[in-house]
Amino acid sequence: MIKNENIKLYNGVSMPRIGFGTWQSSPEDAYKSVLWALECGYRHIDTAYVYGNEKEVGRAIKDSRIRRDEIFVCSKCPANVKTYEGCIEHFFETLKNLGLEYLDLYLIHAPWPWDNIGLDCTKGNVDVWRAMVELYHKGLIRAIGVSNFSERDIEAIVGLTDFKPMVNQIRYFIGNTQERLTRYCQNEGIVVEAYSPLATGKLLENEDIKRIALKYNTTIPKLCIRYCIEKNTVPLPKSVHKDRIEANLDVDFKISEDDLKVLDSIHDMSLDRPYRS
């Protein structure tokens, strides 16, 4: 079953094959949904400092009474933080918010501030990365990575630190798979996490996806999640509804090569983001 499967990072750490996302979840919704997710069998929880729900995520983890070493917890250093000191400060605040002694995965949330997409922040990213490498070597983080980083962004920090990210969490779904970047990461041994695997609901009316979902007697959300798994990425579906949270784990089926080719051919330009490389 998918909830029992793991993918191994290049440093040997095992990460659950599917995660549970909390982006855009209010603190109250985050608490309830994470608790439900853990009850359903998720063991990989994704949050971020800027989501404003770390405390509630941490409370749900504690209230689940599941052993800490059985839950893989990821959070992120804010995209606007581009100093060594700022990263250290926010990391320890995140630990305090979550009520944890260590993180399983910590990411740089983006290579640039969200209000200035495309800005060259190489120096700041290197400073933050050095702080994260230090925290990793101290045993406070089991794995470190990046999010929304392009090939060039990754090569810049690796070139100046000689330390490669273990994960790149990117926007990834049927119709927008960032194919070149995904191929680069996977060739480099960097695991790709797929956030917004349902394109925040925008794939639910796609006729091609509907037709293939019917063929497998499944739903569009489940097909979209399974597609990400077939592409060797780690999907991070989210919901605040208990039945959907549980349903999103029911993806133990295979998509045929022919159907994967059809899904690969879908491209909706309206869902592209104008990120400047």
**Number of folded domains in the chain?**
1
Residue 2, in any domain of the structure: no
Model pLDDT, residue 267? 78
pLDDT tens digits, one per residue of 169-224? 999 999 999 999 999 999 999 999 999 999 887 888 889 999 999 999 999 999 99
Give the CATH number of the domain where residue 76 resides. Answer: 3.20.20.100
Helix (H) or strand (E) holding 21: strand 20-21
Q: Is the pLDDT of residue 249 over 90?
A: yes
Residue 35, in any domain of the structure: yes
Model pLDDT, residue 1? 87
Helix (H, G, I), strand (E, B) or coil at 227: helix
Residue 9, in any domain of the structure: no
pLDDT tens digits, one per residue of 69-118? 999 999 999 999 999 999 999 999 999 999 999 999 999 999 999 999 99
Residue 205, in any domain of the structure: yes
Residue 42, in any domain of the structure: yes
The structure's pTM equals 0.95
Calculate mean pLDDT across residues 215-240.
97
Long-range contacts of 151-159 (CB under 8 A, 24+ apart): 151/180, 151/181, 151/184, 152/277, 153/111, 153/122, 153/125, 154/184, 154/185, 154/188, 154/190, 156/122, 156/125, 156/126, 157/122, 157/125, 157/126, 157/129
Q: Is 277 exposed, middle or buried (0-12, 13-18, 19+ CB in 10 A)?
A: exposed
* 10 is an active site residue: no
Residue 4, in any domain of the structure: no
Calculate mean pLDDT across residues 20-38.
97
Model pLDDT, residue 246? 97
Q: What are the residue ranges of helices labelled H in the chain?
A: 27-40, 54-64, 84-98, 122-137, 151-161, 179-187, 207-215, 220-230, 242-247, 257-265
pLDDT tens digits, one per residue of 128-143? 999 999 999 999 999 9
The partner residues of 16 in beta bridges, in order of sequence, read: 6
Model pLDDT, residue 200? 80
The partner residues of 192 in beta bridges, in order of sequence, read: 168
Residue 259, in any domain of the structure: yes
Residue 7, in any domain of the structure: no
d(C-alpha 109, C-alpha 177), whole Å: 19
Give which of 160, 149, 61, 158 is closest to 104, Cα–Cα: 61
- List of residues 6+ apart from 51 with CB closer than 8 A: 22, 23, 24, 25, 30
Question: At residue 191, what are phi and psi to the nearest 5 degrees?
Answer: -70, 135
Residue 237, domain extent:
15-271
Which residue among the candidates 31, 42, 49, 51 is catalytic per the annotation?
Answer: 51
